[in-house]
Chain A
Amino acid sequence: MKRTAIWPPAAAAILGILAGCGSSDDGDAVEMRTLRITVANLTANQPASPVLVSLHRGGDAWRAGSPASVALERLAEGGDGSALAAELAAAGGLVDATGSAPVAPGGIDSFELSYPAADDARLTVATMLVNTNDAFAGLSGLPVGMLEPGARQAYLLAALDAGTEDNAEAAGSVPGPADGGEGFNAARDDVRDAVRVHAGVVGRQDGLAGSVLEGKHRFDNPVLRVEIERVR
């Protein structure tokens, strides 16, 4: 699966560059750059919600140690990244895309993002681990504007806890296939309202009465691999 997103106002300029053979009469052409983002779900049994990838100049999707925004809460509790995409777009968005389907355990999704050259461009990637209350993973505002053509980077990422929902693992509270429960709920009832590294799920086999999760839903880090390549 590959999706391509192109900064809408520049579509004509892109066509010009692709076909232009360095023609100089196109003085208004915006220099376009393209990043290929490949996201791999490394977990055993945690589908990842449709992945949000966003290039933006301002805004922060999250900061460890600080409370999650409501937009991040919507992604982390219910797998819906649309509010977070809108928030980043409003804060200085360049381009974004969202996967058309969840990424299965062991699966991969990839995106190509074309954007008008901006040395201060930053990349946010976010996806929920859906067999949890509010675990997610990704990159928050990684600087990518200075990547040279052909440059590649790879990140192995840990699961984070949004801190917005108690990790009770109770029936009706986990939206993934382990439960089919509720996604976003505005209530904040976690022990600490702050984004931090996730401690992992417990499960009823390990003594958490009322948990809908089992040993097979456990995970260890890293849970996600993100590869970034500047292809143009």
Chain B
Amino acid sequence: MHRKFLAAALTALLSPAAASAADLEITITNLSGGIHFTPLLVAAHPSAVHLFRAGEPASAALQAMAEGGDIAGLENEVSAAGGQFVADPAGGILGPASSSGVALLSTAAGNTHLSITAMLLPTNDGFVALDGWEIPTQAGSYTLTLNAYDAGTEANTELMNPGAGGAPGVSGIPGDPSGRAGSGGSGVVASAPNDAEANVVHVHRGQLGDTDAGGGLSDLDSRSHRWLNPVARVTVVVK
């Protein structure tokens, strides 16, 4: 596997298209009905960089984003790799069925691939993301749809733990901007060990929820806090 990705990286570096810079206008729409996105990170970077890969363990920086919405660590990863980013283009939390403002990104030569991340609230460690999409060299408007992933770092208890639950390694959902979460649930799964799912980044199985705001298994509401993929649409205008 890794040999192939290395080969891809070399090809990209050697191809003339990779040398060109681009002016991008990026708009992100939350397609869900009841899930909020924490502040988004939009990054352009060399092809070999991955903020995450499905099937591989999450980095500490990805875990901090997925469990608590903290993108500082991922910003550092992008900068260290020579990439560029726009942080929080929506100006805070992006609500359901809402669009971010237009993020402007003028990419330097070599920053040929685009990645996007944000935590999904309320979830334990769910996030919406784009992993290393090759930015077209031809001017035009391109539309992508994004899926919900699970960082694989925290069991999906679906129990609220306001504030505290956002720290990496602390069980529980840090907040619910929708205000529809309950309390007193017994937990959809045990908080530890996290053996009810693959402990690597994977496609989020979705949430269960229930209709008992004061008890039941889940603190989440099955009428508000479920989704089906895709959860976001991204429009990229290459100038």
In contact, A216 and B196 (Cβ under 8 angstroms)? yes
In contact, A44 and B202 (Cβ under 8 angstroms)? yes
Among residues 197 to 221 in chain B, which have CB atoms less than 8 Å away from a CB atom of chain A? 197-206, 208, 217-218
Query: Which residue of the partner chain B has the closest CB to A158?
Result: B229
Residues of A within 8 A of B203 (CB): 42-44, 219-223
Q: With A45-B197, A105-B197, A106-B198 in contact, do A216 and B1 touch (Cβ < 8 Å)?
A: no
Contact pick for B206, options A40, A107, A218, A225, CB 8 Å? A218
**B174 at interface (Cβ–Cβ under 8 A)?**
no
Residues of B within 8 A of A221 (CB): 147, 203, 228-229
**B46 at interface (Cβ–Cβ under 8 A)?**
no
Size range of the chain B interface in the assembly? 20 to 34
**A110 at interface (Cβ–Cβ under 8 A)?**
yes
**A71 at interface (Cβ–Cβ under 8 A)?**
no
Contact pick for A43, options B147, B199, B202, B227, CB 8 Å? B202
**A215 at interface (Cβ–Cβ under 8 A)?**
yes
Query: Which residue of the partner chain B has the closest CB to A150?
Result: B11
In contact, B198 and A205 (Cβ under 8 angstroms)? no
Q: Distance in Å from the Cβ of B66 to the closest Cβ of chain A?
A: 14
Q: Distance in Å from the Cβ of B130 to the closest Cβ of chain A?
A: 13
Contact pick for B150, options A36, A44, A156, CB 8 Å? A44
Among residues 187 to 232 in chain A, which have CB atoms less than 8 Å away from a CB atom of chain B? 200, 203, 205-206, 214-223, 225, 229
In contact, B197 and A40 (Cβ under 8 angstroms)? no
**A108 at interface (Cβ–Cβ under 8 A)?**
yes
Q: With A43-B198, A105-B197 in contact, do A220 and B148 touch (Cβ < 8 Å)?
A: yes
**A13 at interface (Cβ–Cβ under 8 A)?**
no
Q: With A38-B1, A43-B202, A216-B196 in contact, do A106 and B189 touch (Cβ < 8 Å)?
A: no
In contact, A216 and B55 (Cβ under 8 angstroms)? no
Q: Distance in Å from the Cβ of A45 to the closest Cβ of chain B?
A: 6
**A171 at interface (Cβ–Cβ under 8 A)?**
no
**A118 at interface (Cβ–Cβ under 8 A)?**
no
A205 CA / B188 CA spacing, docked (Å): 8
In contact, A219 and B205 (Cβ under 8 angstroms)? yes
**A104 at interface (Cβ–Cβ under 8 A)?**
yes
In contact, B205 and A43 (Cβ under 8 angstroms)? yes
In contact, B54 and A42 (Cβ under 8 angstroms)? yes
**B168 at interface (Cβ–Cβ under 8 A)?**
no
Residues of A within 8 A of B201 (CB): 106
A-B contact count (CB 8 A): 90
Q: With A106-B152, A218-B206 in contact, do A40 and B196 touch (Cβ < 8 Å)?
A: no
A37 CA / B72 CA spacing, docked (Å): 37
Size range of the chain A interface in the assembly? 20 to 34
A173 CA / B189 CA spacing, docked (Å): 23
Q: Distance in Å from the Cβ of A185 to the closest Cβ of chain B?
A: 27
In contact, B54 and A215 (Cβ under 8 angstroms)? no
Contact pick for B54, options A36, A40, A205, A220, CB 8 Å? A40
Residues of A within 8 A of B199 (CB): 106
Q: Distance in Å from the Cβ of B191 to the closest Cβ of chain A?
A: 13
Q: Distance in Å from the Cβ of B103 to the closest Cβ of chain A?
A: 25
Contact pick for B202, options A106, A110, A205, CB 8 Å? A106
Query: Which residue of the partner chain B has the closest CB to A227?
Result: B4
Query: Which residue of the partner chain B has the closest CB to A110?
Result: B1
A38 CA / B5 CA spacing, docked (Å): 13
A223 CA / B203 CA spacing, docked (Å): 7
In contact, B198 and A45 (Cβ under 8 angstroms)? yes
Q: Distance in Å from the Cβ of B222 to the closest Cβ of chain A?
A: 8
Encode contact with A along B86-99: 1 for CB under 8 Å, 0 otherwise.
00000000000000
**21 A-B Cβ contacts within 8 A?**
A44-B150, A44-B203, A45-B196, A45-B197, A105-B198, A105-B202, A106-B54, A107-B55, A108-B55, A203-B208, A205-B188, A206-B222, A214-B188, A214-B189, A215-B218, A216-B197, A218-B208, A219-B206, A221-B147, A221-B229, A222-B203
Taking A40-B55, A219-B203 as given, write out 8 further A-B residue pairs in contact, using a Cβ cutoff of 8 Å, ordered by the A residue number: A43-B205, A44-B204, A45-B196, A45-B198, A106-B202, A156-B147, A218-B206, A229-B4
Using a CB–CB cutoff of 8 Å, the interface residues on chain A facing chain B are: 36, 38, 40-45, 104-108, 110, 156, 200, 203, 205-206, 214-223, 225, 229
List the 7 shortest-distance A-B pairs measured between CB atoms, nearest first: A106-B198, A216-B196, A105-B198, A215-B208, A44-B197, A106-B200, A44-B205
